[in-house]
Amino acid sequence: MMRFVNLLFFLLLAHLSMAQQQQLQQHVVQPGETVYSIARSYGMSVEAFYDLNPETKEVLKEGGRVMVFVPQSTVPIDSARFHFHTVKPGETVYNLSRRYDVNEEILFEHNPDLKEGGLKTDMVLKIPKAPRRSPMVETLTSDDEQTIQADEDGFLMHNVSAGETIFSLTRKYNITAGELVERNPKLSEGLKEGQRLKIRPLSPGEIQVKEDIKISATTTDSTRQPFTLYRIKEGDRLADIYEKFDVSYKDLERFNPRIQEGLRPGRMLLIPLSPSKDDVVIRDTSVYALDRVYPKGKAINVALFLPLDIDIDSTNANYKNKWIKQNEVSLGFYSGVKTALDSLQALGIPSRVMVYEDKNISDEIVRGLDSIDLVLGPVFYRELEKLHSSMKRLEVSALVVSPMSRESNILNLPNIYHCLPLKEKENISMARLINTKFSKNPIVILHENTDDHKKTTNRFLAALNDTNVSVRKGSADRSDLVTLLGQENDSLKKVVVLFGDDRSYIASILNALGGLRRSDIILISGSDLIKNPTVDLNNLGRLNFIRPESTHVSFSHQGALDFYKHYRRNYNREPDRFANQGFDVTWYFAGKIWGRDEQQQPIQQYFSFEKLPNGSFQNIDFIWIALDKRINQRVIMPMQ
């Protein structure tokens, strides 16, 4: 096993050594600069600039910061031992020392220019990486008995001290300013000393119910009482909770004294589990198991099966490049998994990961999965089927996730989570979109005159809540469309749903719709439409076209921007779709297993699983993207 882990590290380092022939640097966009002028000034191609800064395809902001390549300096960048921080306006030596948990003397020692000329905006500082534990981790690993305060809703609380700022709190607890303000609306009036703030929902083992519960940081795993957290929902009854968790009213009241006031939706319950039952829960591979919480201090064990290709002639002069090219999927996915686990570790969620070559799955490896909490992969169906068959034969149970396969055959394998939504589910998702976003709008359905499209239309109609629907099969010219759409009315847009595969049919409908020159049309169709080379994107933009994608990277939320910056800093290259998927899948499932109850914006994929009759789980969450007249894209569902 270590052979494969070492191989991955070797491949990553080899990849990095190639990327480090040039160094990355930030550039502040000046008035009048364009993508072309910036790329040219650094000797880069426009394509290379967009690879580093994909968000600039939408807009290049004056005063914004972009990444560029510069010739390698004579001073090597040691990113393993040092942070490299670009100074921003308003920063001081003091707050940087607090942020990176180093003494000011150490900053001066490693940055002689800082001592001589002082701190300047855009100065790049070399800061040693010191092991920095958040206050939460320190509390849980202290030799003294310590506890964490929670309010009745199960949130970590913080008392504001003199000198603290919103920025310092976001850094301290690894949350965004938006999350902090949302949980504490009075922050809009300013931060005050002594103010008590809600920080985040507590993770497992962290809760102390203030009335009489103390969780000791010194108790051993054998004596610690395991718990699960449960957030009360609308319609919950005490009898249902007793049955669901097999807990008595006496035990429930003991750990939740306020339950005497009744069940209040949104409030967290601390529910005791017997050690034996806790072991059973961990082996449960259903969605219900994902709502469970681990006891404090227990690491999540992750097994990663990757399509490693190690049979390459090492005597070949170009073998490193071949290795990297042939292991592109593995390298990308592994780096994303590692980034997610490192991020969860920073939040107090420990993990252990074991890496296996998916072509060599022995019975010994499969038996070892009985102690694994999360199995990621294999990536491809043939290897996944082999693993599933071995697990069934050896009676091994584990939560298995298929992270990237689009093969529908996977759904025939019970107890496996299929992460990429299947194309045949697009229309059901489209009905959800219309029921959610356009429930009051008139709907016009245009479909190709074939038996398959008639069936598709009927299934779609059955899933719609709207009764204001018109249907037209076959061709339709402008006069037909005017009759269907009625008078132009910008205050109540008409939603046109288009089902068809024939290019001539698609072209005729789009030309007729575009020829109307109306601004009250919203066109919705499947993902294949925008891939059709005969389709005019400008026409789709004028029709306010909305389409589904199974994955999509949006830079409109801070999470994606932070991930890209973190990834560039660690790997000196852009994350590819495999890295994005590795991060999203790991963050979602590992976080669910641990019991994180807060929403986290994904990098490229959302998850909403539907249980199938055979016990497998299919993700049905598509991302719906709207195109405007300027060909700008905007995610409209799921909401960001």
pLDDT digits (tens, 9 = 90+) for 245-292: 777 777 777 777 777 667 777 677 777 765 433 333 333 334 333 444
Beta strand 196-201 with 155-159 is antiparallel
Among 618, 607, 594, smallest CA distance to 206 is for 594
* Fold: same for 22-76 and 424-549+628-633: no
- Tell me the three state secondary structure of residue 448: coil
- What pLDDT is recorded for position 211? 33
Q: Are 396 and 366 in contact (CB under 8 A)?
A: yes
Q: What CATH number is given for 155-201 in this structure?
A: 3.10.350.10
Q: Is the pLDDT at 116 greater than 60, yes or no?
A: yes
Domain boundaries, the chain: 22-76, 155-201, 424-549+628-633
Q: Is the pLDDT at 383 greater than 50, yes or no?
A: yes
Q: Taking every pair of C-alpha atoms in the chain, what is the biggest distance, in angstroms?
A: 80
- What pLDDT is recorded for position 285? 39
How does residue 509 score in pLDDT terms, banded at 50, 70 and 90?
very high
- What pLDDT is recorded for position 136? 27
Q: What CATH number is given for 22-76 in this structure?
A: 3.10.350.10
- What pLDDT is recorded for position 223? 37
Q: What residues are paired with 201 via a beta bridge? A: 155
Q: Is the pLDDT at 326 greater than 90, yes or no?
A: no
Dihedral sign of CA atoms 72, 77, 79, 83 in order: negative
In whole angstroms, give the CA distance from residue 123 to residue 146: 41
Q: What CATH number is given for 424-549+628-633 in this structure?
A: 3.40.50.2300
In whole angstroms, give the CA distance from residue 200 to residue 362: 42
Angle formed at CA 552 by CA 547 and CA 553, multiple of 5 degrees: 140
Among 544, 498, 492, smallest CA distance to 522 is for 544
Q: What residues are paired with 27 via a beta bridge? A: 66
Reading the block at residue 572, the tokens are: 């000196």
How does residue 639 score in pLDDT terms, banded at 50, 70 and 90?
low
- What pLDDT is recorded for position 7? 54
- What pLDDT is recorded for position 556? 77
- What pLDDT is recorded for position 473? 93
How does residue 126 score in pLDDT terms, banded at 50, 70 and 90?
confident
Q: What residues are paired with 23 via a beta bridge? A: 70
Per residue in 419-464, pLDDT (tens digit) is 999 988 899 899 999 998 998 999 999 999 999 999 999 989 988 8
Top-confidence residue, 205 or 83? 83
Q: Which residues contact 398 (CB under 8 A, 6 or more apart)?
A: 283, 285, 303, 369, 370, 372, 373, 374, 375, 391
- Tell me the three state secondary structure of residue 158: strand
Q: Are 567 and 14 in contact (CB under 8 A)?
A: no
Among 550, 520, 547, smallest CA distance to 636 is for 547
Q: Are 585 and 304 in contact (CB under 8 A)?
A: no
CA 153 to chain CA mean position, Å: 25
Q: Are 308 and 378 in contact (CB under 8 A)?
A: no
What is the tally of helices (H) and strands (E) in the chain?
A: 24, 22
583-604: b (≥16 Cβ within 10 Å) or e: bbbbbbbbbbbbbbbeeebbbb
- What pLDDT is recorded for position 348? 78
Residues 350-355: what's their mean pLDDT?
89
CB-based burial of residue 191 (10 Å sphere; 0-12 exposed, 13-18 middle, 19+ buried)? middle
User: How many CB atoms are located within 10 Å of the residue 180 CB?
Assistant: 21
- What pLDDT is recorded for position 530? 83
Q: Could you give the percent of the chain with pLDDT greater than 90?
A: 26
Q: How many CA atoms lie within 13 A of 65 on its CB side?
A: 11
Q: Is the pLDDT at 41 greater than 80, yes or no?
A: no
In whole angstroms, give the CA distance from residue 241 to residue 500: 48
Three state DSSP letters for 335-354: HHHHHHHHHHHHCCCCEEEE
Q: Which residues contact 450 (CB under 8 A, 6 or more apart)?
A: none
Q: Is the pLDDT at 529 greater than 80, yes or no?
A: yes
Ramachandran area for residue 149 (φ above 0: left; ψ -120 to 50: alpha; else beta): beta
Average of per-residue pLDDT values in the chain: 76
Q: Are 100 and 85 in contact (CB under 8 A)?
A: yes
How does residue 584 score in pLDDT terms, banded at 50, 70 and 90?
very high
Among 156, 192, 194, smallest CA distance to 172 is for 156
Range from 36-50, 141-155, 583-597 that averages highest in pLDDT: 583-597
Q: Are 484 and 430 in contact (CB under 8 A)?
A: no
Distances (CA, A) of 171 to 139, 141, 175: 17, 20, 7
In whole angstroms, give the CA distance from residue 562 to residue 569: 11
In whole angstroms, give the CA distance from residue 169 to residue 172: 5
**Which of 66-80, 171-185, 388-402, 592-606 is predicted least confidently?**
66-80
- Tell me the three state secondary structure of residue 68: strand
Q: Could you give the percent of the chain with pLDDT greater than 70?
A: 74
